[in-house]
Structure 1
Amino acid sequence: MPTAEQAMGMIETLDIAVFQVKTESTLSDRKSFLRVQNFARSVFGHYVYLEVGSHIGGSLFPHLIDPACEAAISVDARPTAQPDERSQVFHYPENSAARMIAVLSDWIPPAAMAKLTTIDSDVSDVSPEAVDPRATLALIDGEHTDTACFSDFVGVLPLMEQDCVVAFHDANLIADAILNAERFLDHLGITHETVFLPDTVAVLGLGRLASAVRDRLQPHALDRKTFLDLSQRQLWSHIAKVHSPKIHAELEGLRSDNSQLVKEIERMQKASRDAEARVAAMTSSTTWRASAPVRAVVDRIKRRFAR
């Protein structure tokens, strides 16, 4: 484990080796996390970090060992499974705050761990009074559906200072939620700026931090339109690939059902033709013609009794 001085040097130089606890992020994501952390350190001096969706604490680790981070709040409902925009369900066995604390404690000294507060809840249910002082830097990395992510963003806002930074992990999966967050901020009249960092980290600067995010992080950012267009195509492609076997199976089932239906229609058509042939044979027979007067009398009797 690196010393505190070594860890700080790694954070400042964007050395991703500082991530000592497993995190579900790419190497470029980790570098982007550190870039955002350094940005927060420079604009705030000292900051309060809030994270939605922590699992075993991999992305919490650099903040807990950072003296500039005064407090870290982990908000996580701790589901054992959750859906995803990729039309899949992802499982998180043994997902608990106790497990996360145990993992982090193996790497972080008690004094740094004392900065950590865990809240086992959906962030929308967290009272603003539970986060004091309010956070200045947040990471949303919970359920990766557009609905849940936008709900997390709305839930995070009351827990933040007016001038703050909100980052999103796996922005390629929840791009629509980020666009909705921008529209929501427009509706509230809150100044904001969004940049997309490699690989999949979106950063929203709010209030007076909007221009700082644009000026200082945009030079390291991806092209917005290219990122959003590519993310959408990749998401659709992934969904099609995942569900292709099921779709093919359903099509085969439909073909089988259709084949059976065609056979039943052909059988019924043949039965109808056979019946028509029997009727035609009967009506053209000598017996049918000879019995015509009798049938006429019967018909008159039926009509008389029907009055």
Structure 2
Amino acid sequence: MNVRHLILACAGLLLSAPALALNILLTNDDGYRHPNIRALYQELKAQGHTVRIAAPYADQSGRAGAFLYGREVVPGRDDDPAYPDSYYVKTTQDGTCQSPACAGQEVTVEISGTPVMAALYGLEKLLPRADLVISGPNVGNNLGYVNNFSGTFNAALIALHSGVPALAVSADLKERDAAGVARIVARLVRDLDNARVAGAPLLPKGVGLNVNLPPLAGLKGIKYTQVGTYLPFALTYTDDLGDLNPAARGRFGLSFKYAAPASASDTTAEAVWVQQGYLTISPFNGVPGTPGHEALRALGRWADTLCLP
């Protein structure tokens, strides 16, 4: 079932079961101007939610749960009038200037804040009464053990630590339909809202959801899974970084090698089902790979209402 058919199939429910307006904070590790986060902002705003973006100034992929404390933080606002509620986070770094104009001098420069720093800024300064944090949609799936390295996942994790329900959302690396991804994520939010008991949070206390989308053109359905321990690549040092970064050809550094596909024998792992064309939803409660059976049972009522194939 493609995305167009999926959305049309849900049209009746969209009209008959309007969700209450929520306070939703969006963050990511790809930067505040990325098309994915902007498309999700527009979709959620169109549904009547109060939405704020708090994201890194620049791409911070792979920064995991990194944060820089004791440094000045320089927040800013998107100058695009289409995104009046979008903010970014920078910080500062001291060092020795390498430019010929100031070589050898001690300087302070602005650098991008990390995903965790951005999420915390949003929760404390932009939307302190958030009902939900959505981190992403990321460029590329975050599956299994790779979530340990993921800025997307760890931004959602810091929201859980702050007492706010969170989704970590990742799309296929080659997916270009940002609007289609946004519609599906907004549908999940609506179903969460419709299924909860009045006055209850969107998710059980301390539980987040790791959501991974396959290529939308081949979307087959939805699976409830475990994060698992699959690692799609292996980190390794190389004497030639040229394949990863042409500008660093012949230089020593850290690179990676892609691993074999996830073993189909692990029928609970999200990686197995994403590579077969399914959207996966894996609960987490602070540690990637933690068994989520109790969380899945707690989410059972919501799962029965999901308007996905």
How would you bin the TM-score normalised by the shorter chain?
Answer: 0.3 to 0.5
Larger Rg: 1
Question: Greater strand share, 1 or 2?
Answer: 2
Taking structure 2 as the reference length, the TM-score comes to 0.35
Question: Greater helix share, 1 or 2?
Answer: 1
